[in-house]
Amino acid sequence: MSKIRILSDALASQVAAGEVVERPAAVIRELVENSLDAGAAHVTVEVQRGGTALMRITDDGCGMDREDALLCMERHATSKIRTKEDLAAIATFGFRGEALPSIASVSRFRLATREKEALSGTEIEITGGKLANVKDHGGNQGTIIEVRSLFFNVPARRKFLRTEATEYSHIENQFRTHAIANPKVTFTLIRDGGVAYHLPGAQNVLERIRGLAGDELANRLIEVERLEAQGIAVWGYIGGPGLSRSNRQQQLTFLNGRPIESQPINYGLREGFHTSLMKGQYPVTFLFLEMAAEAFDINVHPAKKEVRFHDGFSIRDVVAKAVKRALETANKLPEGLQSTVTRVPRPALQLRTESNVPTPTQQAFILPAVPLRIPVANPAPRIPFQTTIIEPDQTEPEKYTPQPIPKHEEAPEIKAAPPAKPATPTFRIIGILHRLYVLMESTEGLVLMDQHAAHERVNFEKIRAAMEAGGVPSQRLLMPLMLQTSPRDADILKRNLDTLTRLGIEAEPFGPNTFKIEALPTFLKVDDPLAWLDRVIEELQSLSSKSSAVRLGEDIIVMSACRHSVKANDKLSIPEVQALLEDLFACEMPYCCPHGRPTLIQMSMGELERKFGRAAP
Ligand code: ADP
Ligand code: MG
């Protein structure tokens, strides 16, 4: 029986359309969600070359009959929604009926599918959006979708793909998130022919986390017992005190089984963890929210990651309560954790309720800080030897005057403003260590440049200069974006509209708590401007009211400059390093990144000689 309906035009336009396919990981997200929607118990994801050469998703879900298989390739064909009421109450992942046609229009696409009782299945080939072949398919029940040569017909999009390793890591994150949200489903990820993950169906979320991240992490998680209030249920697992991250990458939140990002949840977490987290640290969470479909709107974000709640305050409240309660319980040491937790006596509990004030003899327990196996983005490498930070000359600001670059052996040389005593030291680039530190020879000894920190500094100053010179170049949006905020956030935004304008963001109030965003700074290379703006608001919120508007703007710049700087291990060529050095020395403050970390350090010959025992210490 045919299940798919074509959406009416009116309904279709009610659904926020957007770019579905931003990168290979987005294709994986759509296809895996379809498999889960189809009730699959086994989902296998195969990728080659970071997904750019091949992505193949095989499931044992309900499959499609021939009519549906052909229909699902039409825009706005979906079996999951028919009326406006359906749209409000959507419970499945898909809802817009545009993933498959979008993906097929930019790839060599093959769909093979068979329904359970059907005698034979259907195979469809589409190349760059054109139907190339339809034939019988004799495979098992379920669906196989193959996406080859992504963006083969859209060179402009292909150019924006990052390295295969980067694209793969996005796919991996997507895969892991799905796996956590659906513990009972068996997931397999095959990368370039080798099994990267095989996760047999697990009993529960904790077991799945154990399978993915290992005992080390799983044993250190605290259970958030199910809390139901105000039509919201919250449960899951969180890292206890001592288990935190410097970014949000392991702060996973799910709504009705769907991975989401949401400000009210973030605020709730922050409030719940309160003193248990160091400043600038983010918790590790696997938090599941459940609520009626009418209580939120998932059409906000083309990638369906971001959700708008009708009552964000209650969400924040319930999340905070659930987390607080879990941390309090953990401080009392629940049975289950006894064997894996080290007892560390502390004079007082940080979190307490009236019924839970410890007597002087009671001991509180915290989890030991054990390094985890899960990689943290850009771990700051430690340099195990003593170094001297080159100080800028305090007496007069240094200005770099570009010089013709003299030849010296085969490696290029750069004349730069003096980092230390000599007036015009010559840096000769020796090479790049671990794709991170540029090694240079100076007359003084060895100079190391942190290329990431240097990039941050350069970007920061470029943007700030543009701001001071009458505004950052901005780009009008084809379609204005609508940013909905809480009343409090609306206030913050209104107070900072001027700063935002100088930053290149054109925003104007549009209704009580809505802003129309008509232009964004050109430097901004984010997938999701609305989420970025939410972060900006969050940033503005956390700054004290004393700071001047300029300071606020600057802080935002630092934030985005850093986010859009070269990552620690991007490979630079020697001419790129040279250009970076020149840019760095054209900066007002070349010697530290916007966070105050050094960009350059020097080891003098004397220091080396002492280390090698050539000179007395
Ligand atoms: P949506 O998921 O928004 O409905 P898609 O373009 O992703 O839109 O899919 C269109 C339709 O194709 C789905 O509604 C579903 O009926 C069908 N479909 C897609 N993938 C599968 C699958 N793996 N198994 C069964 N049916 C599928
Ligand atoms: Mg879908």
Tokens at residue 19, please? 């770019």
Nearest CA to ligand 1 atom 18: 34
- H/E element, 266: helix 263-273
Which has more pLDDT, 95 or 285?
285
Ligand 1 binding pocket includes 59 (Cβ within 6 Å): yes
Give the pLDDT band (50/70/90) at residue 413: very low
Ligand 1 binding pocket includes 72 (Cβ within 6 Å): yes
Nearest CA to ligand 1 atom 25: 63
Nearest CA to ligand 1 atom 9: 97
Ligand 1 binding pocket includes 78 (Cβ within 6 Å): yes
Ligand 1: residue of 34, 93, 126 to mutate (most ligand atoms within 8 A of CB) is 34
pLDDT at residue 551, as a whole number: 54
Ranges of each domain in the chain: 9-199, 220-330, 333-473+522-617
Q: At what angle do helices 487-495 and 529-542 cross, to 10 degrees?
A: 80
Q: What is the pTM of this model?
A: 0.55
Ligand 1: residue of 37, 80, 92 to mutate (most ligand atoms within 8 A of CB) is 37
**Rounded CA separation 489/35 (Å):** 38
pLDDT at residue 255, as a whole number: 92
Pick from 281-285, 342-346, 356-360 the range whose average pLDDT is largest: 281-285
Q: Note the pLDDT tens digit of each residue in 143-189.
A: 999 999 998 888 878 888 888 998 998 999 999 999 999 999 999 99
Nearest CA to ligand 1 atom 21: 34
Q: At what angle do helices 451-468 and 549-563 cross, to 10 degrees?
A: 140
Nearest CA to ligand 1 atom 16: 79
Phi, psi angles (nearest 5°) of residue 205: -60, -40
Closest CA to 40 of 56, 60, 58, 63: 60
Ligand 1 atom with the smallest distance to the CA of 3 is 16
- H/E element, 330: helix 312-331
Ligand 1 binding pocket includes 38 (Cβ within 6 Å): yes
* pLDDT higher than 60, residue 5: no
* Residue that has been written with the tokens 């020097």 in this structure: 602
What's the CATH number for 9-199?
3.30.565.10
Ligand 1 binding pocket includes 87 (Cβ within 6 Å): no
Q: Are 285 and 237 in contact (CB under 8 A)?
A: yes
The stretch 410-429 carries a mean pLDDT of: 47
Q: In what order do the strands lie in the sheet with 54-59?
A: 130-137, 121-127, 108-114, 142-148, 54-59, 42-48, 186-191, 194-199
**Rounded CA separation 25/171 (Å):** 4
Which has more pLDDT, 384 or 617?
617
Query: Radius of gyration of the chain from Cα atoms?
Result: 27
Q: What percent of the chain has pLDDT over 90?
A: 28
Number of helical H runs and strand E runs in the chain: 18, 28
Ligand 1 atom with the smallest distance to the CA of 96 is 3
Ligand 1 binding pocket includes 35 (Cβ within 6 Å): yes
Pick the CATH number of 220-330 from 3.30.230.10, 3.40.50.2000, 2.60.120.480, 3.20.20.20: 3.30.230.10
pLDDT at residue 350, as a whole number: 29
Which has more pLDDT, 328 or 175?
175
Q: Note the pLDDT tens digit of each residue in 102-129.
A: 888 889 999 999 998 888 999 999 988 8
Compute the C-alpha angle 485/80/142, nearest 5°.
125
Give the pLDDT band (50/70/90) at residue 64: very high
**Rounded CA separation 372/369 (Å):** 9
**Regarding the domain with residue range 333-473+522-617, which homologous superfamily does it belong to in the CATH classification?**
MutL, C-terminal domain, dimerisation subdomain (3.30.1540.20)
Give the pLDDT band (50/70/90) at residue 19: low
Ligand 1 atom with the smallest distance to the CA of 142 is 24
User: How confident is the prediction for the chain on average, in pLDDT?
Assistant: 74
Pick from 70-79, 203-212, 551-560 the range whose average pLDDT is largest: 203-212
Three-class SS of 227-245: EEECCEEEEEEEECCCCEE
Ligand 1 binding pocket includes 97 (Cβ within 6 Å): yes
Give the pLDDT band (50/70/90) at residue 556: low
pLDDT at residue 384, as a whole number: 30
Ligand found nearest the CA of 144? 1
Q: Note the pLDDT tens digit of each residue in 493-515.
A: 887 787 778 778 888 888 888 89
pLDDT at residue 453, as a whole number: 85
* pLDDT higher than 90, residue 205: yes
Where is average pLDDT lowest: 13-22, 72-81, 259-268? 13-22
Phi, psi angles (nearest 5°) of residue 224: -95, 105
Ligand 1 binding pocket includes 112 (Cβ within 6 Å): no
* pLDDT higher than 80, residue 73: yes
**Rounded CA separation 178/186 (Å):** 11
The stretch 537-557 carries a mean pLDDT of: 58
498 C-alpha vs ligand 2 centroid, how far in Å? 40
Q: Are 37 and 92 in contact (CB under 8 A)?
A: yes
Closest CA to 238 of 306, 297, 305, 287: 287
The stretch 523-549 carries a mean pLDDT of: 67
Nearest CA to ligand 1 atom 7: 99
The stretch 485-490 carries a mean pLDDT of: 83
Ligand 1 binding pocket includes 121 (Cβ within 6 Å): no
Q: Note the pLDDT tens digit of each residue in 348-399.
A: 322 323 333 333 333 222 222 322 233 333 333 333 322 233 333 333 333 3
The stretch 17-21 carries a mean pLDDT of: 50
1 C-alpha vs ligand 1 centroid, how far in Å? 15
Ligand 1 atom with the smallest distance to the CA of 100 is 6
Q: Note the pLDDT tens digit of each residue in 423-482.
A: 334 788 999 998 889 999 988 889 999 988 888 888 878 877 777 776 677 788 877 888
The stretch 555-572 carries a mean pLDDT of: 61
Give the 3-state secondary structure of residue 539: helix
Q: Which residues pair with 110 in a beta bridge?
A: 125, 146
79 C-alpha vs ligand 1 centroid, how far in Å? 7
Which has more pLDDT, 332 or 309?
309
Give the pLDDT band (50/70/90) at residue 75: low
* pLDDT higher than 60, residue 294: yes
Nearest CA to ligand 1 atom 20: 34
* pLDDT higher than 90, residue 83: no
pLDDT at residue 505, as a whole number: 85
Ligand 1 binding pocket includes 77 (Cβ within 6 Å): yes
128 C-alpha vs ligand 2 centroid, how far in Å? 19
The stretch 25-41 carries a mean pLDDT of: 94
* Residue that has been written with the tokens 């970007």 in this structure: 459
